[in-house]
Chain A
Amino acid sequence: MAAGHAHVLYREVDSPVHRLPPEVKIAAMVAFTIAVVATPREALWAFGAYALLVVAVAVLARVNARWLLLRSTIELPFVVFAVALPFLGVGERVDVAGLSLSVDGLYGAWNIVAKGTLGVWASLLLAASTTTRDLIVGLDRLRCPQILTQIATFMLRYLDVLVGEARRMRVARISRGDDPRFVWQLRGFAAGVGALFLRAFERGERVYLAMLSRGYTGRMPAVWQGAGAATTGQWLVAATVPVLAGAVAATAVVLT
């Protein structure tokens, strides 16, 4: 079976962070990110403190640095333009290694890279310690509109099925001599996408009929949401990270 698509980022280990209920981790991640973003960019020491917090959580969650750094390359396309800022910025300039750079631009680039990286790290830690399924449960418990969590649930469930169908169709095409390496041979691929859409559409209809047959009336029954919700203690434990981050941010604001 095509296993594992649903767990691209999840790290299967047992740790105190893994055991925390998903909703407190989501809330902590969001609060931490807000604190980071609210920090004035000139308070360089604050970002060091945040990085230490991330490292502490990563150690607790038994996520190794290599994995974290490798995965955080996902932000590269988003921060690439930050490199240009020191050259394009206006105002006061400094000479670094023979290059005349804008101070304002340097701070701007730093702002984007530092805040972006910390946000990506926080999200990666959440994803590494929470299964996708639990993320949806957590969003549900945080009163995220049910329609959104339902769409996410279905997407997760059928992603594997659709990927499997696409793969089988591709193998069947290639087996008949299709070699979609050249642009003029993309026709087969394009027709395949159309066929895949039809298949997905038909499957959607069959899934719906099967749901109707089991008494579905348009609303998902709330079954398991009650079980295992976070206790006050767990909220307090998870709150330590955003509270520390908030304190750092507040201090940074006062000092600058």
Chain B
Amino acid sequence: MQPTAPSLEVRGVRYAYPDGHVALHGVDLTVARGERVALLGPNGAGKTTLVLHLNGILTPTEGGIVVGGLAVSSDRARLAEIRRRVGIVFQDPDDQLFLPTVAEDVAFGPANLGLRGAELAARVDEALAAVGMSEHRDRTPHHLSFGQRRRVAVATVLAMRPEILVLDEPSSNLDPAARRELAGILRDLPVTLLMVTHDLPYAFELCDRSVILDGGRIVADGPTPELLGDEELLARHRLELPYLFRPTPGPTPVRE
């Protein structure tokens, strides 16, 4: 694997569900290492379907996916490595957190990779520290607040040291403070980021580049301020900025 390989390459991916409904009509997307990309699109555009392709849960009808120079295939060992490299944080933290304590849940991924003992404990500590949840390690996930649970969900994936972090609607259902806290955490993570969302200000805040997926096709790809500045483009794809919101590049938000 050469170090220059992009974190993610999606080449001509087409996907039809078993009932014949075509969800993806040939998607091409390249995300360079260290890049932060927002994947925007209305409901039903195929965003989640695309995400499930990235780590081999769904297999494309046509086309292929390469993660850090390694092509996704159905080979077991290959698939395990792909799932280590692509860290998906699902929309509902209750789907992701299923073990009785936070620490055990964070350990689940790296333990599946074969880590044990002190090495495993170090991974758990590192991931929990990265999302500011170290003091809650022995608590039960369902006793945490929703925002805390989402942060733990991010930690469960970070513990696998992924090549690319994929977040499905990271800001949904968060109160404003939890939303801002999560943004602060995501901004500081030194990983490649693909963020699926229709929260346009969030994309503006965290991602330099955005792509719009609609009807199973990538219809726009460019710097986030440019895309969000094109009202007509947004309207065509059922996206709109919140009332009174104008994307003007300004100083980065104040951090605590």
Contacts and interface: CB of A to CB of B under 8 A. Distances in A.
B83 A213 contact: yes
B96 interface: yes
Interface in B51-109: 52, 55, 57, 76, 80, 83-84, 86-88, 90, 92, 94-96, 98-101, 104, 107-109
Contacts of B87: 213
A221 B115 CA distance: 10
Given A1-B142, A160-B142, A207-B95, A216 B112 contact: yes
Interface in A122-160: 133, 136, 153-154, 156-158, 160
A224 B52 contact: no
Contacts of A221: 107-108, 111-112
Interface residues of A, number: 28
Most chain A CB inside 10 Å of its own CB: which residue of B55, B100, B120, B145: B100
A215 B98 contact: no
A210 B112 contact: no
Contacts of B31: none
Interface string A200-234: 00010011011111111100010110000000000
Interface residues of B, number: 37
Contact of A153 (B57, B84, B99, B156): B99
B57 A213 contact: yes
Contact of A215 (B80, B101, B116, B144): B80
A221 B95 CA distance: 19
B160 interface: yes
Contact of B111 (A133, A157, A161, A223): A223
Interface SS of chain B: helix
Given A215-B80, A215-B109, A210 B96 contact: yes
A160 B108 CA distance: 21
Contacts of B95: 203, 206-207, 209-210
Nearest to B80: A215
B143 interface: yes
B104 A206 contact: no
A97 interface: no
Nearest to A214: B109
Interface string B109-149: 10111001000100000000000000000001111110000
B157 interface: yes
Given A203-B95, A207-B98, A224 B57 contact: no
B117 to A, nearest CB: 9
A223 B121 CA distance: 10
Interface string A174-215: 000000000000000000000000000001001101111111
A156 B144 CA distance: 16
Contacts of B104: 223-224
A22 to B, nearest CB: 13
Interface string A38-80: 0000000000000000000000000000000000000000000
B137 to A, nearest CB: 12
Contact of B156 (A160, A203, A212, A214): A214
Interface string B21-42: 0000000000000000000000
A6 interface: yes
A64 to B, nearest CB: 26
A217 B80 contact: yes
Contacts of A156: 100
Contacts of A213: 55, 57, 83, 86-88, 90
Contacts of A160: 142
Contacts of A210: 88, 90, 95-96, 98
Nearest to A160: B142
A197 to B, nearest CB: 17
Given A1-B142, A212-B83, A215-B80, 13 more contacts: A6-B140, A212-B57, A213-B83, A213-B88, A214-B108, A214-B109, A214-B160, A215-B112, A215-B113, A215-B160, A221-B108, A221-B111, A221-B112
Interface of B: 52, 55, 57, 76, 80, 83-84, 86-88, 90, 92, 94-96, 98-101, 104, 107-109, 111-113, 116, 120, 140-145, 156-157, 160
Interface of A: 1-3, 6, 133, 136, 153-154, 156-158, 160-161, 203, 206-207, 209-217, 221, 223-224
